[in-house]
Amino acid sequence: MSSQAVTSNKKRRKNYSAGHIIWLIVEYASLIFFGICAVLPIVSCVITAFKTNEEYANTNVMTLPQSWLNFDNFIKAFQTADMGRAFLNSLLVMVIVLFVSVIVGTQMAFVLNRFQFPGNALIRNLFLFASLLPGVAMQVTVYQIMTNLHLVNSLYGYIIMSCGTDVISIYIFIQFMENIPLSLDESAIIDGASYWTIFWKIMLPLLKPAIVTSCILKGVGVYNEYYAANLYLQKKELHTIAISLYTFVGPMGSQYNLICAGVIISLLPALIVFICCQKQIYSGITSGAVKG
Q: Which of residues 159-188 bind another protein (CB under 8 A)?
A: 160-161, 163-165, 167, 170
Contacting range for another protein; rule: CB under 8 A; set: 37-45, 77-85, 175-183, 202-210 = 37-45
In angstroms, what is the minimal distance from the CB of 16 to another protein?
9
* Whole-number Å distance between alpha carbons of 271 and 99: 22
Q: Could you say which of 226, 236, 252, 277 contacts another protein (CB under 8 A)? A: 226
Does 217 bind another protein (CB under 8 A)? Our answer is no
Pick one of 59, 96, 127, 209: the residue that binds another protein (CB under 8 A).
Answer: 127
3-state secondary structure of 133: coil
For another protein, the closer of residues 88 and 145 by Cβ is 145
Cβ nearer to another protein, comparing 70 with 252: 252
| Member of 66, 144, 153, 187 binding another protein (CB under 8 A) | 144
126 binds another protein, rule: CB under 8 A: yes
CB of 158 to another protein, least distance (A): 12
Neighbours of 74 (CB within 10 A): 19
Candidate ranges 29-37, 72-80, 91-99, 206-214; the one touching another protein (CB under 8 A): 29-37
Q: Nearer Cβ to another protein, position 69 or 140? A: 140
For residue 69, report the phi and psi dihedrals to the nearest 5 degrees. -110, 10
Q: Which of residues 50, 110, 171, 176 is near another protein by CB under 8 A? A: 110
* DSSP codes, 44-96: HHHHHHT--HHHHHHS-TTSPPS-TT--HHHHHHHHHTTHHHHHHHHHHHHHH
The angle formed by the CA atoms of residues 188, 194 and 199, to the nearest 5 degrees, is 80
E-strand ranges in the chain read none
Residue 18 within binding range of another protein, rule CB under 8 A: no
Centroid of chain to Cα 271: 11
Smallest separation (angstroms) from another protein to the CB of 75:
18
CA separation for the pair 163, 183 (Å, rounded): 32
The yes or no reply on residue 246 touching another protein (CB under 8 A) is yes
Does residue number 122 form part of the binding site for another protein (CB under 8 A)?
A: no
Site for another protein in 61-90 (CB under 8 A): 61-62
- Judged by CB under 8 A, which stretch of 34-42, 70-78, 81-89, 176-184 contacts another protein? 34-42
Q: By CB under 8 A, how many residues form the interface with another protein?
A: 93
How close are the terminal C-alpha atoms of the chain, in Å?
Answer: 57
Give CA torsion, residues 38, 40, 45, 48, to 10 deg.
170
Q: In whole angstroms, how far apart are CA 114 and each of 30, 168, 184, 203?
A: 49, 19, 12, 11
